[in-house]
Amino acid sequence: MSSLVDHDFQFPGQTSVYKGKVRDVYTINSDFILMVASDRLSAFDVVLPQGIPHKGQVLNEMAKYFFESTADIVSNWHIASPDPVVTFGRKAVPFKVEMVIRGYLSGHASRVYSQGERNLCGVSMPNGLKEDDEFPEPIITPTTKESIGAHDQDISRESILSKGIVSKDDYDQLESYTKKLFSRGQEMATKRGLILVDTKYEFGKLKDGTIILIDEIHTPDSSRYFLKDGYHERQKEGVSQKQLSKEFVRQFLISHGFQGEDGQDVPELSSDWIKSVSSRYIELYEKMTGNSFTPAESSDIPARIENNVRNFLSQI
């Protein structure tokens, strides 16, 4: 199976390009951007050496689905998708924080909790919880937004405000949007037999000062899902929850001695493992949206993207 790992596109009107961990962002005529969702896979802020077939398409099409389903809560940057892995949208100045919200003690929060910590990003976590238990109410645990190759860092609301990273008025708005988006995401997940465990949102500001939702939303890269059926029984029995998220990638790497620390080598990724990751992404897309996944033509992915984008730009 083919995958898009890296390619330097030259689009009409292109003024700059930024390559992130898994997405490449091309600025068009200074006011718009084209975001190409590659098949790169990152974990612990490290980009793994092999691409995952269809991953970019899954993320792009799922993000579009959720952008359209949450636009009544907050406007977003999405305008059109000229190719299955490309989004064309409004350019905004990103806030330098990621708004992470957690409904359950899972992932990073669970790892911190197991070390005896009861405070995460300035937010208290109650005693007596076990991994994957639900919090009394969702907690917001922001992180800094670092450049590629650097680890995002936990940060508290108080530090964000005291350091002037985000103004109080803007941060209050980000928190409000985060809570409403998460609530909507949980409602949508429940209808599909899933639990939205935690997720992150990124926001930006347009020239006129309007705050919009950017990047992606409720995808397997930014969110963790459990299967709803049997959740309480598994918790009572102390059995691991059935997940549809990228956490299984992190757990695979942890089991092979890799957590992105200096001096650690990425373990060998077999072709069977790569296929299994691809299947997991497709499974979540179909489970979450109720739509069948149709893989895009992949004999020459860069040529397909170039052709579709050029045709789109020529008509706007």
Which of 65-69, 145-149, 215-219, 290-294 has the weakest average pLDDT?
Answer: 145-149
- Give me the pLDDT at residue 158, please: 97
Tell me the per-residue pLDDT of 239-295, one tens digit each, with 9 for 90 and over. 999 887 777 788 889 999 999 888 888 988 899 999 998 998 898 899 889 999 999
Residue type, 198: D
Write down the pLDDT at residue 248: 79
247-255 vs 271-289: helix crossing angle, rounded to 10:
160
Query: Is residue 73 helix, strand or coil?
Result: coil
The rounded distance, in Å, linking the Cα atoms of 161 and 159 is 5
Domain ranges of the chain: 14-91+271-313, 94-250
Percentage above 90 pLDDT, the chain: 80
> Is the pLDDT assigned to residue 64 strictly greater than 70?
yes
Q: Which residue has the higher pLDDT, 285 or 129?
A: 129
CATH code for residues 94-250? 3.30.470.20
Q: What's the whole-model pTM score?
A: 0.86
**Per-residue model confidence (pLDDT) at position 151:** 65
In words, the CATH class of domain 14-91+271-313 is alpha beta
Spatial distance between the Cα atoms of 23 and 110, rounded to a whole number of angstroms: 28
165-214 pLDDT tens trace: 999 999 999 999 999 999 999 999 999 999 999 999 999 999 999 999 99
The average confidence (pLDDT) of the chain is 93
Residues linked to residue 223 through DSSP beta bridges, in sequence order:
199
Percent of the chain with pLDDT over 70: 97
